[in-house]
Every structure is written in structure tokens, then in C-alpha cells.
Amino acid sequence: MGSSAAGSGGEGRPGVTGTKVLALRTVPLLGWVGLLAGLVYVRGRKPWPHPAVRVAWWIDAVLSVGVHTLQIPVALRHRHDTGHSRSRTALMTFVFGLTWWKTVKPTAAATAITEEDR
């Protein structure tokens, strides 16, 4: 259930259900929605409703952009487990962070990539 909604086509390592994967991937999606909403709000020249909202937005920005970017090299090292291309691995890791590359089910293509890189 829901694995295609996360854009990865049948993921899930053994013991990780589609529902759990969807729930895990909802968190970074909500983070991106929060970032976009904050940008739209500020572009409207409105002040932040409370200083805590500004702090929360900056924490979200650091986690969504900074930490997800830092996870890309690790995900690229694990891409042989998934069979996905470098660009797909980088993009999906940037959007979902480790909730993508840690929950992707190994594919038959993973064997081909591993043998190709030897």
C-alpha cells in the first residue's frame, strides 16, 4: 500500500511494510511543504506570526536541505543495493532523505549494476 505514492515503485525491505514506509516518507514531505509555505508567506511581505515559527522554519530548512544533501554520498554508496541510477538515488535522497534509501527493496537491476561495476 502506498509505496508508489512515495515515487519508488514497490520498496520496502523485509519487515518494513508499505504503510510504515509511507508514514516515514510523509515526514520529509511535510517538511518540504512547510518550507514552501514559509517562502510564500514571507514573499507576501507578512511578518512571521511568532518568533518560534521562524525558528521552526530555519530548523526545517537545515534538516530538509542541509542534512538531506549530506546523505546523498552515503545513499550513492548504497545504490548497488537498489539498482537505481545515480541521479535517481541523489534526487530521491534529497527529497526523502534516508527514509528513501534505507527502505528501498533490492531489485533485479541491483545485481546487474554490481556486476557491471566490477
* Side-chain half-sphere exposure of 68, counting CA atoms within 13 A: 25
Distance (Å, whole) CA 113 – CA 67 = 27
Express each pLDDT in 64-110 by its tens digit: 999 999 999 999 988 877 788 899 999 999 999 988 888 877 765 55
Number of domains composing the chain = 1
CA 22 to chain centroid, in Å, comes to 11
Does residue 116 lie within any of the structural domains?
Answer: no
Express each pLDDT in 57-74 by its tens digit: 999 999 999 999 999 999
> What's residue 31's pLDDT?
93
Question: 23 is in which domain, residue-wise?
Answer: 4-102
Instruction: Map grid coordinates 514497490 to a residue.
Output: 10
Mean pLDDT to the nearest integer, 44-66: 88
